[in-house]
Structure 1
Amino acid sequence: MSTTPKIWNEAGFVSDDPWVIETEETKAGHNERPLLPLADFLAKAGDGERELGVLIAPADDVIALQPFLDRIALVALSFPAFNDGRGFSHASLLRSRLGYHGAIRAVGDVLIDQIPLMLRCGIDSVAVTNATAIKRLEENCLPGIPHHYQPTAKPAAKAGGYSWRRVS
């Protein structure tokens, strides 16, 4: 598994992404922008700063972002383990209930089979470190099921024939 994530969106890999998740070892440098933990984001947004990036942990309450949605340039949703799906709920809440139209990124343990579902929930980009996922994305080979019964944050075309069937 690679330690440096590759940023991917539906147009392909992004080479000049400025966002950095700051840690003790890694700090945002020149021409880079930090993704702030929720508490730090709320403090800066409360001071009136704009165009901030926020890192949402699985246990964070995304409803706290509601008064500051116009100040957010990127929401990064943490997926610390493949079996922790709270980020899907956060993305859906941001898009459907809170009406957030900005960028949403999945970070952490992102696997190839999760990416189509992330896109359906309203996630725009993913930070991928998994070697298999990177290879499949380079090959433009996303898995998935072409028909869905549930509406999602990402608009779907009707498949025809059945009012409840949608096409990815």
Structure 2
Amino acid sequence: MTKIWNQSGFVDNDAWVIETEDRKAGEGERAVVALDGFLAAVEQSNESGFGVLVQPADDVTKLAPHIDRIALIAVNFPAFNDGRGFSHASLVRDRLGYQGDLRAVGDVLIDQVPLMLRTGFTSFAVTNPVALARLADGRLPGIAQRYQPSAKASAAAGGFSWRRIGGQGA
């Protein structure tokens, strides 16, 4: 079972559906389509509020001309050891200026969530039983030291990211 979590807790009645050949968005649901499908749809329409699924090998810079028309970017983590999704998050937040919901989907583990938050993820499609239990209990692991810049400012001291961002927060 997949549950959607954000920093406010678990989300009830999330309308987003990652479309596959077997599963399409129905009434009251919103489709999340693969990057190529999104690019084709956005060229044929003036609509906004799209949901886009980004795979590890996708080129997220293709989203740039349409970034203001996207409501959700879902980044797939097909395996815990594939970290390309972290780079995608940094690119869409820092270079493309995306302000909408950035969701981690796939193999989302509890130990990765704090780092995902730092790179700009705002919601998580969680299936891992340990991650679900820890999130339900409010037991999110922390990060003691921060050496990299973050997409999200942090009040916690102790890192050195200020050296790389000209004095801005961790």
| TM-score using structure 2 length | 0.90
Q: 2 CA distance for matches of 1:160 and 1:81?
A: 31
- 1:26 Cα deviation from its structure 2 partner: 1.6
| TM-score using structure 1 length | 0.91
Return closer, same or farther for 1:30/1:152 CA change in 2, 3 Å cut-off.
same
Letter in 2 for 1:149: Y
- 1:151 Cα deviation from its structure 2 partner: 1.4
Give the paired residue count.
165
Superposition RMSD on alpha carbons, in Å? 2.1
- The share of aligned pairs that are identical, in percent, is 61
Letter in 2 for 1:138: A
1:99 and 2:121 equivalent? no
Find the partner of 1:79 among 72, 77, 80: 77
Verify the 8 A CA contact 2:147 2:161 in the aligned structure 1: no
- 1:143 Cα deviation from its structure 2 partner: 1.0
Q: 2 CA distance for matches of 1:57 and 1:161?
A: 31
1:146 and 2:105 equivalent? no
Find the partner of 2:22 among 22, 25, 28: 25
Letter in 1 for 2:7: E
- 1:76 Cα deviation from its structure 2 partner: 0.2
Verify the 8 A CA contact 1:74 1:103 in the aligned structure 2: yes
Letter in 1 for 2:64: Q
Moved over 2 A (4+): 160-168
Runs of 5+ consecutive residues of structure 2 not aligned to the other structure: none
- 1:106 Cα deviation from its structure 2 partner: 0.3
2:61 match: secondary structure? helix
